[in-house]
Each structure stands twice: as C-alpha cells, then as structure tokens.
Structure 1
Amino acid sequence: AHRISPEILQPAGDAPLVIAKGGFSGVFPDSSYYAFSFALLASAPDTSLWCDVQLTKDGVGICLRDINMSNCTNAAQVYPVKNKKEAKYVIDGVPKTGYFSLDFTLSEIQTTLSLTQGIYSRTERFDTMYSILSVTDFQSNVKPPSVWLNVQRDIFYKQHGLNMRSYIVSILKSVPVKYISSPELGFLKSISKRAGRRTKLVFRFPDNFLSDPSTNQTYSSLSKNLTFIKTIASGIMVPKIYIWPVTNDNYLQPPTSFVQDAHSAGLEIYASDFANDRIIPYNYSYDPLQEYLSFISDGGFSVDGVLTDYPITASEAIGCFADLNASKADHGKPLIISHNGASGDYPDCTDLAYQNAIKDGADVIDCALQVTKDGVLICMSSINLLDTTNVQMTPFSSRTSVVPEIRDTPGIFTFNLTWNDISDSSLKPKISSPLSTYYLVRNPRYTNTGKFVKFSDFLEYGKDQDLSGIMITIENAAFMAKSLGFDVLESLTTALNDAGYNNQTTKEVMIQSTDSAVLVKLKQQKAKYKLVYTLQPGIGDASASSLADVKEFAEAVVVDRSSFFAQSVHFIINQTSLLTDLQSAGLTVYAQVFRNEFVSQPWDFFGDETVEINNYAQSLNVDGLITDFPKTVRRYKRNSCTGLG
C-alpha cells in the first residue's frame, strides 16, 4: 500500500485524538487483527483503537462491529438458512433475524467463523482471512497504545442472562483501557467506581433520537443536560451532524454550539461517523480531509477527537494540515494545472470555474479550444454541446448532425452555433459528473451556473493573475481545416499575439494535443510555446525510439495517471516503467486527471485524494498534476510536514 510517510502523521501537543473504529475498517474487516495493526502503522502514534464489545454465550467479550454477526462475519455461509443457530431478537425496538454472538460460545466463534467487510461497497479482498478476537486477545496480540471499548447494549445482554458489567470489570486489571463509551448512562455509572482514574468514561449519543434504556430519558433531553452527564462521564461522543447540521440537499448549515456547550460543562467532546467513502456535504468537494479540518482547526471550536474508519486521513489532517504554511507563489513542482478550470465545483470552462481555479491556487489554468460557426474561439471541454450544456432543452436542440470524423452518434457541435447563440440566455453550462455511474454528482446548487468564456477573455484571466502560465488544448485541427475551412493554429497565434503573450516572458504558454501533427507544425513555425504531447491511456512503457520521435516535436507529455501503475480489482500490483522511460528521455511529465471522489482512486489510496497526490508528488516525482480540484493540490503543497509549501 502507498501511504503517507511517518513524519507526516506526528501530531503536536494536545492534538485531537484519532480513534480508529475497529482499526482501519475502511479497507480491512472491522476488528480484524490486520485492521487494528494497520491502523497503528498508518496513523498517528497515539491513535486509540476502538473495539465494539459483544458478549458470547459463555460471557466472554469479543471485538465485533455488530451484535448480529450476519452483517460482519461468514456466519450465514457457515450455517445454512433456517439452521437452528439463526435466531430472532428485538434490537433497539426492531425485530432482527440473524446470527447473534450471545448464541455462540467463544470456542465456536473462533473455530468456525471469520470476519467479513460489513459495508458492501468496500473491497471483499480480505474477507474470511481473519478470525474474531476476544478483547484480551486484542490486547495481547495487537498491543495497542490506547484501547477504547464501546459497550452498546448492556441492558439487552442483561435481559438474556449475560453480565457486561462483570466482564468489563474483570478485565480492567489485565487490559489497560483508556476509554469506555456507552449510550447507556446507567452502565457507565455502574462501572464508574471500578474504572479508576486511568479510564475515561464517555457517554455516546446515537445518531437517532431514541431513549436511553438505562435512564428512560430521550437523548434529546440528555443533550440539554450536559452538567448531569458530567457527574458520571468525563466526555461525550456525538454524531458529526450534531455539530455541523446538514440541509436536505446535503449542504452545511451553520454549526451548533454543541462543542462549546460540552466544554463549558467540563466535558471532552468526540465526533463520530467519519469515513472517506461516505457522501459528505458538498461544501467539502468530496474531500474527507477538508471535513476533518472543519472539526479540528478552529481554536476553541475544535473537538477533542474523531471516530473514523480511515484513521490515516484524520491523522494527516491533525498532524499536517491544521496549521498550513503560508501560501508561496513560487509555482514549484508539482505544478498545479487546472482541468477545465475548477471543474470539480463549477461547470467546465466557465467564468466561475476559471475564477475559482485561480482563487484555489492553480499555477496554470487551461482552455480546451473550440470554434463557433462564426469563427470565434471559445473554451469548452467538449466540441459536442450535448456533453457540456443543456442544449437539448433549448431552441437549438434541432441542430443535431452526425460528424463521422468526430463521433458516430449525433451531436450538436460548437461549430453549429454562433457565439451569439452560445451566449443566448437559454443555453446554460452543465457541471461535469465523471463518476455519475456511482451516483456521485457535483455541487448540485451550481449545476447550471456560470457564463461561457471566449478565448480572448480566458487570455485576460491568465494575464492579470499570479499564474505561472496557461495551457491550451487543441483537438480536431485537421477536421476544422478541411471541413470548416478554419485554421485554428493561425487563429490561436493571432489571439495570443493580440493579447500580448508573444511579447512577455513571465507567463508560459503551453500547447497540448493528442495530434502530433499540430505540435510538429508549431515546432516548424518556431513558436515560443511549450509543446505538450498527450499520450493515449493504458500505455505501460515506451521504447527509446518512440520517445526520440516525441522529443522531435514536444518537450513535455501528459499521461493518464492510471498508466503509471498496473492494477487488479482496483488494487495496485506494481509500478510500470513508463515514468522512468519518460524521465530518462528528458521529458517533463504531467499526470492527469486527479479527482477527489473516493471511487476515482485505487484502494491503495484509501479514498483520500491527498494520499494519492502525496504518492505522485513524493514517490513518483511528476512535474505537474492536472486536477478538477486545484484547491486540494494547493492545500497539499502548503502542508506543514513535507516541505512543499
């Protein structure tokens, strides 16, 4: 696995605590030996390992994410349906059928069952590889620096003849437990005298407003009586929405006073429900690290710890991103190159996308060059307006045609409309959603916002801002010349000259294309541009002779980021030789396209775009990153751990 180097994870002082829920349960089965061990390897040194304690038939505590083993073990496969081991219990007021820990002895559980990933969208690769650990096995085998035991259902076990209190008290001498949490205040009170000073008791608010069965008070009323909780517990744990509520359309509301209220009552407060592969509020642009920062880097607002399935991300947030270095405008490696502007948050190539790419810290902004019917150069990520606009909902929807040189299916192309048509109020941009097959959409409130941009206006954006340069992508040049009678290279050169780019040296002009003929022609014209050749995806290596050919017309290449690694079932197997080949040939290497959405990366990067960026910047040492989210890469370059500020 590719992970952040250890120094990036070292927190300072009284940093918020990272609590690894079932270990590194975002990848490995919750509460497995490797989930626990990997959490210690890939997280802050003082990370606390969370064990959900369930009781067996013979009263032994085990670490298991759910009392119903159907959800986290292979019990259903080991014991066929309608087997006498299947049972029905009422859990939290709801009848549940399955295989429950209290119907099995510890010996049965450890000899016949193994753990599986409890969340079905996660990898199954490690299923049935690990046995279930008793709490004492967990302590002796893993040797965690900090143990957090969560006791969810003391009263339920009591109703079925098992005593959770007696078990917890019996192990306190042999297992150094730093934290015990429970949503049952009565349970915490019952062990408070036996827990001693070295163990903190934490009252856990669930993510629904039921009643605490041990006090018959609703959690809602208990949340308003924190001073009473303080008489029993030293801290509380709340779902993160208690602190940052969310609207029905998944945007943040103003924060509540819950953190301040807890601290005023003398309570520590921990936030739960963090995971990199959940749909988080759109304000965070699918960036889980940004979400942590809203909980831990606001002075008195900071929580005292976070409960997470991905402790590496919480660790890097706390250790390296809570105090960012001042932003430096040296435009050093890796260059941050926008992909259709800040297209992760705004419609491609619009004024909003470019303005925010600059604001978010891009070194280079980009324009995919297209032409209108009346010969106006514009920036548009696709020549087909069906891809990037709402054109099918406008009076222009009848202007479909099939252009075999571009695509076999009908389209409405930029050259079918004049600039006035494109500027028409009925035609609106449409935000890209490259991962919509996973039902992940981008910033819905801005789906159709922003204005289309003429190339001349794009050039003005680039001139007046703190950028190292601009990148212009040219495709379909031969088609434009032959079918439209339009010389895109001549028009490009004229526009750059008119905007003053040919008489300055502070802004680098890069021309990118998959068409070598375009770059050859510019080379022959002795243009002062940096010529960038786009390699086809899936190339794993390159011969010396082919690279020598590329060097004849380009000094840089754009490579699909997946070409650097061979993958199997979304895991990296090995690095290809492509990067070494390109760097040995003296070519500048830009990797594309970096995206925040957790499904866009191999499992090795843990659904955390910052981990992926770190790998390309530090291990691969590429020259630039082309990204839909410039702000994510800019923040990475400002982190306080790797000296890339």
Structure 2
Amino acid sequence: MPSCGRGSCLPLLALVLVLFYCSVGSADAQRRARRSSPWRTLNGDAPVVVAKGGHSGLFPGYSQIAYNAAMQASLPGTLLWCDVQLTKDGLGICLPDVRMDNGTDIDEVFSNKGRSSYVVNGVPMTGHFPLDFDSAKLSQDVLALPGQPSLWLNFQYNMFYSQHNLSMRSYLLSLARTSVIDFVSSPEVSFLRGLAARFSRSKTQLVFRFLEADATEPSMNQTYDSLLKNLTFIKTFASGILVPRNYIWPVNASLYLQQPNTSVVLGAHKAGLKVFAADFANDNILAYDYNYNPISEYLHFVDNNDFSVDGILTDSPVTASEAIGIPMVISHHGASGVYPGCTDLAYQQAVDDGADYIDCPVQVTKDLVLICMNDVNLFKGTTVAKSPYTTRSSVIPELQSEQGVFTFNLTWKEIQQNLKRKLFLQISLPKIYRRQCGTYEHSHNIRSQIETPLLKYGVVRNPLKSNDGAFMTLTNFLTFAKDKSLSGILISIEDLQRPKIK
C-alpha cells in the first residue's frame, strides 16, 4: 500500500473540518429550539433536585458538611431534605431512620446503654431511639435541624411518636412560625389531612409519600398500591406525590427496564399532582439500559418524550444537577455503552438521548474509503479476531507493539460484511447472560462488538445488543448527522502519517 506523507494527508484534514463548520449553523438553531421547549413537568418548570440528607452519597448524611456540600455544588434552588425525628423533650433532629444506629456513631458513644425495643407501625425494632434521649444529651453527636430557606421536611413516623406522647404536628407548626418550609411530606394520610387546612394559604406544599406497593399505610390500613389508584383522593389534601423510582420505570429480573414506562407520572399530572421520584444514588444497581451511568438514569425520568418528573430525591444531588442542568454532551463513538461504537445504532441512540455533538474517529480502508471506526486496529471493537482475516495481522511499530488487523488491511466491502448480522463465537459470560443471549456460533463475517472494559470483573455492557449495528463511512455519517437536532459533529483524526506497509 502506498505511504501517506504529511503533505498528502493535511488536505484531507482541512476538508473534514470545512464540512464540520458548514454543518454547525443550521444545527445551532435546531439546538436552541430544542432547549427552549418546556419541561414536561406539571407546570412546565425545570425539575427540582432534593438532596436527601445533603450530599449523603459522599459525606455523612444529615450532617452540616453534607448539607453545605449539597448547597455549594448543586443547582441553585436545590432543596435540603430532612427526615424529622423527635427527641424525648420534643426537639426535631434530622436522621435517616427512627433509630440512630445507622447514620450516627451512637453505638461507640453509648455502647448498649440506652437500647430499647418498640413496635413501629406494626414492626418490632430494637436500637437507640431519639425519643429515649434528651436533645442536650445528643447535641454533640447529632446535628439539630438546619434552618435553610429551601427545605423539605419528611415526617415518616407521626403515629409512632404520637403513641409516646410526642406531637410531630405541634413541632412542625411551631417551626413554621419562624422558618420557611417549602415542602412537607409523609407516608401517613391522616397526618397530611390534618395539616391541609393549616397550610392551604401558605407556600408550603404537602406531598404524600408512597412506600413499597405492598406495604400498608398505617392510618387507613390500605396498601400503597391501592391508594395509587385513587389519586383524586390524594389531591384533596396534597399537591404532589413522592414515589420510589420503580413505580415509574420498573426493572425486570434481568436488569432491563420494562417497556413501556408506567402511567404513574401522566396519571398524576392529569389529576393535578406533581410527581417526585425517590431512591436515587450513584452507587445503586442500575439497569443495563443506563450503561452504569447514573446521569442516564436521571435523564430517563426528566427528559424523555412522554413526561418529566417534577423533582428527584437523591443521595447524589451533584450528579442530578448535572443531568437537569443540561450540560453540553459529546458522544464517545455514539452511545458506545449501549451499542457497539461507531455503528448506525450507536449514533441514533446518541441522538435520541439528546447528545449535542456526535463524533466520528476517522480511519481509512485498503481501498481508501474513509470510515468511522473507534480504532485503526480492528481487534478493538469488532469480531475480526474470530474471522479468517487474522491471517492479515501484523505488527506495525509506529502504531503499536502488538499484532493487529488494521483498517487499511481490508477493503470497505470486507469490513462491511458485518451487515449480515451473524453472531460471533460464544464468549465467557455469567449464566444469567447466557440464558438471555443464547449460544453464539462461529462467523466468518466481521461484526461490530460492544466495548466491555470491565469484562474480567464480570461487568458486561448490554449483552443482548453486544453485536448489533452496522459501521458507517464518513460520507454516511455526515449524511446521517445533517438533518438531526445537533449542535454539530466532532471529527477526530490520528496517525496522519500512515506507515509504509511492506
């Protein structure tokens, strides 16, 4: 193959950049139109971020440092969430549970001293309960309620505290006289109904919190699933609902999203209720659809073609802020964690996911066709290692020290054979994935192959789609991008001085 010196390659680079800049103008207008469209929330406002215990995914939750981190690094207007518990003398403190054992170091401070057993909403529990301690005894170890302007108070156990002569209602009303409280939530119907008249003319919004579907709401003795079917009743005392995220996007046993999404958000919006989704954290187990990317999960809830939830309750408010704040998104070989990179499906998925720019790393074939390929070595991102073309492998020190089959070893027609979409040799996967994907068979055709950098740890990417999609020429890529709602495209070119092939 003839060598390509610097002088003969630079005109190619210039041509590509001209095509890029010519494509940007009309796409910018499309992007502005897309960004100016209203959110699909109840009122068209941007979804709010609710920081559960502050930035509790990074710092000790419900501490001053966690609340400060959430305020400093999250979107303006981020709400600080406090699960209110009451001490023996009636002071409200922020703790994640009715027991202090998980979330404080009380075991180290008091050891077994002060441990009690109670029945909480029908469930026997043992531990250190705030209601057994005066606030002065806890003041050095547990932070008292912060008086922040953007505040969400959750009252989870009103009936339990009432049984012990402590009134969450009285505490809330006393606090409301001196502090601005944006949201109040509870999973108990009777608690919110008792507050509805008091807060009807205030800015405080009441939100009914749904627990797991088969759990029983204590004041009405109905399951939360049955209450979900009567949203017009919820509307009589609340302006919104807070639901676990699986109420909206359920995940099946194979860790894929059930399609389509449920009608919870649209049904609640129809009833005039805001919808807030809960149980988000960066270290949650995520569906394969999200490609281990928590931002992708947030986008499924706030930026899809059907709806936007009105807010997100999360341990990781900074990540939620990144998703809702609409940063510039540049694809990496298209949506290369969902489909094999640089394929038609990967690029289409990137566009569907709202990417601002899609990228094409340009390589050249033996017959001088410019193509989009993630690497000049076809061992990366294709199944060429399981094809007869391995006989064309070689070592090219200017590129790499290992053996490779390079794009310029094959013609575009030879690479294009992946369009036959045959499956490739079975790879070693856990049993669950083999059950989903079936048994693979040998193929002499080059197929796209999803990159799986953590395969040795048993972490695979979207096994059902690991070989889907067709590669594209640069011309096909430019044609594809031309009428899409994009700000532009990114062309990358490496190894301009192509080595001589003997």
Scaled by the length of structure 2, the TM-score of the pair is 0.67
Cα 1:299–1:251 change in 2 (3 A) is closer
Partner residue in 2 for 1:593: none
Which amino acid in 2 is paired with 1:84?
A: K
Separation in 2 of the partners of 1:257 and 1:274? Answer: 20
| 8 Å contact kept, 1:423–1:452 | no
Cα 1:396–1:159 change in 2 (3 A) is farther
Matches within 5 A, 1:37-436: 37-80=68-111, 83-86=112-115, 98-111=127-140, 113=141, 132-135=142-145, 138-139=146-147, 144-160=148-164, 162-195=166-199, 197-198=201-202, 199-248=204-253, 249-251=255-257, 253-283=259-289, 288=294, 291-292=297-298, 294-296=300-302, 301-312=307-318, 314-315=320-321, 321=326, 339-353=332-346, 360=355, 362=357, 364-367=359-362, 381=374, 387-389=380-382, 394=386, 413=405, 423=417, 425=422, 426=443, 427-434=446-453
Which amino acid in 2 is paired with 1:151?
A: F
Separation in 2 of the partners of 1:386 and 1:76? Answer: 55
Separation in 1 of the partners of 2:238 and 2:490? Answer: 57
- Cα drift, residue 316 of structure 1: 6.0
User: How many matched pairs?
Assistant: 424
- Cα drift, residue 279 of structure 1: 4.8
Matches within 5 A, 1:598-613: none
Separation in 1 of the partners of 2:410 and 2:242? Answer: 59
| 8 Å contact kept, 1:53–1:151 | yes
Which amino acid in 2 is paired with 1:430?
A: Q
- Cα drift, residue 256 of structure 1: 3.0
Partner residue in 1 for 2:494: 473
Which amino acid in 2 is paired with 1:219?
A: Y
Matches within 5 A, 1:455-474: 457-458=473-474, 461=477, 466=482, 470-474=491-495
Cα 1:217–1:145 change in 2 (3 A) is same
SS at structure 1 position matched to 2:101:
helix
Matches within 5 A, 1:474-623: 474=495, 481=500, 485-486=501-502
Higher relative contact order (CA 8 A, sep 6+): 2
- 1:176-197 Cα offsets, whole Å, 9 max, x none, are 3332211111222344455563
Partner residue in 2 for 1:640: none
Cα 1:414–1:85 change in 2 (3 A) is farther
Of 43, 53, 65 in structure 2, the residue corresponding to residue 22 of structure 1 is: 53
| 8 Å contact kept, 1:347–1:431 | yes
| 8 Å contact kept, 1:252–1:281 | no
SS at structure 2 position matched to 1:58:
coil
- 1:208-238 Cα offsets, whole Å, 9 max, x none, are 4211012110101111112222333332212
Separation in 2 of the partners of 1:235 and 1:213? Answer: 20
Which amino acid in 2 is paired with 1:262?
A: A
Separation in 2 of the partners of 1:389 and 1:253? Answer: 29
| 8 Å contact kept, 1:285–1:345 | yes
Cα 1:101–1:196 change in 2 (3 A) is same
Separation in 2 of the partners of 1:230 and 1:429? Answer: 51
Where do 5+ consecutive residues of structure 2 fail to align?
Answer: 1-38, 423-442, 483-487
- 1:585-609 Cα offsets, whole Å, 9 max, x none, are xxxxxxxxxxxxxxxxxxxxxxxxx
Which amino acid in 2 is paired with 1:24?
A: H
SS at structure 2 position matched to 1:155:
helix
Scaled by the length of structure 1, the TM-score of the pair is 0.54
| 8 Å contact kept, 2:334–2:358 | no
| 8 Å contact kept, 1:365–1:471 | yes
- Cα drift, residue 78 of structure 1: 3.7
Cα 1:407–1:218 change in 2 (3 A) is same
Which amino acid in 2 is paired with 1:473?
A: E
- Cα drift, residue 51 of structure 1: 0.8
SS at structure 2 position matched to 1:388:
coil
Separation in 2 of the partners of 1:362 and 1:65? Answer: 41
Partner residue in 2 for 1:490: none
RMSD over aligned CA atoms reads: 4.6
SS at structure 2 position matched to 1:221:
helix
SS at structure 2 position matched to 1:270:
strand
Where do 5+ consecutive residues of structure 1 fail to align?
Answer: 1-10, 114-131, 325-333, 487-645
Separation in 2 of the partners of 1:397 and 1:78? Answer: 68
- Cα drift, residue 65 of structure 1: 1.8
- 1:299-349 Cα offsets, whole Å, 9 max, x none, are 99444333233445555655x54xx9xxxxxxxxx9x97654542332134
- Cα drift, residue 386 of structure 1: 6.0
- Cα drift, residue 50 of structure 1: 1.5
Partner residue in 2 for 1:35: 66
| 8 Å contact kept, 2:155–2:185 | yes
